């Protein structure tokens, strides 16, 4: 049976499903029923989702959870989180509640500059290229006037364009390195459109530049694309309190806790094996809010991890200090987010999430997302340095294990009660279910 196909994209949705069932499944009826039971009964809504991407056959659900009680710069938020992993929403909620009683989170946007580059190959005299760039720069900007008009009206647009000589790293390689302010949009489409116009102007004007010889006139544009590395689009979020005020049910000895917590963060600063896991915990919070608000989590992930390695080795995105009896914990991360554009006004649940967040600007959303990352990291590191991670995580994961064994509602309630005072592990839950079913 041939397992490849030409023209798959041209088939109807049901034809695509039929082909998949015929080609890859033995239990065809079961597979078909599964795919179809995830379709929304509201046909209009289903069509909307079908059209988000290509070759859609069904929906893939992620739960949308809420972490309430966030106090950020004196405003209260209930934060929407789309994520598949148990205990993440609980940890964020718990951290929010903890800091609510200790002054809440403070957040500030440090910068909002985005970057895009036209990458090109020029085999010639770099001085002549510099002269050409100086001559052509005003036209590069003026040729994008129709594209940038609305963005400029909002206060954004092109900030600058530089010529960068990269020929030492790669023979004959140069860039137009441009910076942008995209206001409430993540900006990928705006930036890419501007860049493609720069490239077109640059290429056609080079042919007319008298100082260039024939080879120089035919410089070659390789590509024009924004960068997801945005080290000048940075937000900082912070919590702090007196060390003694850390005292709580889980923290009987605040001095010892503060010291250990700082040691854990310091370890993540110098040890990449730990830093990656430490930052994964931060991304539990960040990705969940980025997804819930319809933003591009791949872009955020790529940019954040590049930032974590910006000084040459991969390090912690959060920082901790304990000075003069004050515990301070903060994060500084690059986040290119949008509250307009992309899916933000199309996906009904994204609209819901943004309304829940009180219709944030992109800057507001940067602060909320950074706080979610900080809270998540606080929750994880607090658990790691006190009870250990498994106690709380497995408590939340218990439901997944019970579902895996198809526990009934009665079995679930009996076993949840049992595991309130017993260690949770996959094998211990299996054993307890077997005992219950004897
Ligand atoms: C899991 C908890 C919160 C339990 O903590 P607990 O002390 O057992 O919770 P509690 O029952 O005393 O409840 C206290 C509050 O926690 C929240 N909470 C508690 N339970 C729920 C729940 N069912 N649903 C929603 N929220 C919940 C909620 O805010 C609740 O207040 P309330 O709502 O009652 O006013 C705690 O142990 C914890 O924060 N653990 C950390 C879990 C974590 O970080 N998980 C991430 C996955 S592990 C990972 O991927 C990352 C990691 C750890 O490797 C990163 C790293 O290494 O740095
Ligand atoms: N490498 C990457 O990250 C790439 C990402 N993408 C995708 O591009 C999408 C994001 O691109 P965008 O240009 O942000 O979206 P977009 O093009 O959908 O919408 C942004 C547009 O909204 C308008 N707008 C209205 N009100 C505005 C305001 N207050 N502030 C700013 N703009 C306002 C502007 O015309 C702006 O250009 C995401 O879906 C992303 O996944 C696309 C290509 C590459």
| Angstrom distance (rounded) from CA 162 to CA 71 | 41
What ipTM was estimated for this complex?
A: 0.93
Q: What is the pLDDT of residue 420?
A: 86
- Centre of ligand 2 to C-alpha 191, Å, is 8
| Angstrom distance (rounded) from CA 329 to CA 318 | 7
Active site annotation includes 393: yes
Catalytic residue, chosen from 13, 16, 32, 85, is: 85
Q: What is the pLDDT of residue 392?
A: 81
CATH architecture of 67-107+234-387: Alpha-Beta Complex (3.90)
Q: What is the pLDDT of residue 424?
A: 87
| Angstrom distance (rounded) from CA 83 to CA 9 | 30
Q: Atom 19 (ligand 2): residue with closest C-alpha?
A: 341
Domain with CATH 3.30.70.420 in the chain: 113-227
**Which 8-state DSSP code applies to residue 407?**
-
| Angstrom distance (rounded) from CA 1 to CA 191 | 46
Q: How many residues does the chain have?
A: 438
Shortest-distance atom of ligand 2 to CA 344: 18
CA dihedral 292, 294, 298, 299 (to 10 degrees): -120
Q: What is the pLDDT of residue 60?
A: 97
- What is the pairing mode between strands 234-242 and 106-109? antiparallel
Q: Atom 29 (ligand 2): residue with closest C-alpha?
A: 184
**Which 8-state DSSP code applies to residue 117?**
E
Is the Cβ atom of 345 under 6 angstroms away from ligand 2? Answer: no
| Angstrom distance (rounded) from CA 382 to CA 261 | 7
Q: What is the pLDDT of residue 289?
A: 98
Residues with CB under 6 A from ligand 1: 85, 87-91, 93-94, 97, 277-278, 280-281, 284, 379-381, 383-384, 389, 392-393, 395-396
By most ligand atoms within 8 Å of CB, the mutation choice from 90, 315, 386, 420 for ligand 1 is 90
Instruction: Determine whether domain 113-227 maps to CATH 3.40.50.2300.
Output: no
By most ligand atoms within 8 Å of CB, the mutation choice from 67, 93, 101, 267 for ligand 1 is 93
Where the chain has pLDDT below 70, the residues are none
The whole-angstrom distance between residue 175's C-alpha and the CA centroid of its chain comes to: 27
The whole-angstrom distance between residue 377's C-alpha and the CA centroid of its chain comes to: 15
| Ligand nearest to the Cα of 287, by number | 1
Domain with CATH 3.90.770.10 in the chain: 67-107+234-387
**Which 8-state DSSP code applies to residue 74?**
T
Q: Write out pLDDT tens, residues 233-254.
A: 999 999 999 999 999 999 999 9
How many C-alpha atoms does 413 have within 13 Å on its Cβ side? 2
């Amino acid at each position: 049976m041939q397992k490849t196909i030409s023209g798959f994209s041209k088939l109807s949705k049901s034809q695509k499903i039929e082909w998949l069932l015929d080609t890859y499944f033995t239990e065809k009826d079961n597979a078909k029923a599964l795919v179809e039971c995830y379709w929304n009964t509201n046909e209009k809504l289903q069509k909307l989702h079908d059209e988000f991407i290509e070759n859609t056959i069904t929906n893939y659900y992620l739960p949308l959870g809420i972490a309430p009680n966030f106090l950020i710069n004196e405003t209260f938020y209930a934060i929407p989180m789309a994520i598949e992993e148990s205990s993440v929403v609980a940890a964020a909620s718990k951290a929010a509640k903890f800091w609510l009683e200790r002054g809440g989170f403070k957040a500030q946007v440090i910068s909002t500059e985005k970057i895009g580059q036209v990458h090109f190959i020029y085999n010639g005299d770099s001085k002549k290229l510099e002269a050409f760039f100086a001559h052509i720069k005003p036209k590069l900007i003026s040729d994008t006037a129709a594209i940038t008009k609305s963005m400029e009206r909002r206060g954004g647009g092109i900030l600058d364009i530089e010529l960068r000589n990269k020929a030492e790293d790669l023979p004959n390689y140069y860039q137009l390195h441009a910076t942008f302010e995209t206001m409430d949009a993540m900006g990928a489409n705006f930036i890419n459109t501007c860049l493609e116009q720069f490239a077109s102007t640059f290429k056609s004007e080079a042919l007319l530049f008298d100082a260039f010889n024939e080879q120089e006139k035919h410089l070659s544009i390789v590509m024009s694309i924004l960068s997801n590395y945005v080290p000048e689009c940075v937000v900082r979020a912070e919590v702090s309190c007196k060390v003694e005020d850390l005292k709580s049910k889980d923290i009987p000895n605040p001095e010892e806790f503060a010291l250990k917590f700082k040691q854990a963060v310091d370890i993540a600063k110098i040890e990449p094996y730990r830093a990656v896991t430490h930052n994964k915990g931060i991304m539990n919070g960040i990705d969940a809010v980025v997804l819930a608000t319809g933003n591009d989590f791949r872009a955020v992930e790529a940019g954040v991890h590049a930032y974590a390695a910006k000084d040459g080795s991969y390090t912690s995105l959060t920082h901790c200090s304990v000075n003069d009896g004050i515990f301070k914990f903060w994060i500084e991360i690059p986040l290119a987010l949008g509250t307009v554009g992309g899916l933000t006004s199309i996906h009904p649940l994204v609209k819901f999430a943004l309304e829940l967040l009180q219709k944030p600007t992109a800057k507001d959303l940067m602060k909320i997302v950074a706080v979610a990352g900080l809270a998540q990291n606080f929750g994880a590191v607090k658990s790691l340095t006190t009870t250990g991670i498994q106690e709380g995580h497995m408590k939340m994961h218990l439901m997944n294990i019970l579902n895996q064994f198809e526990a009934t509602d009665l079995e679930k309630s009996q076993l949840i009660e049992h595991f309130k005072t017993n260690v949770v592990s996959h094998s211990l839950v299996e054993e307890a279910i077997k005992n219950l079913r004897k």
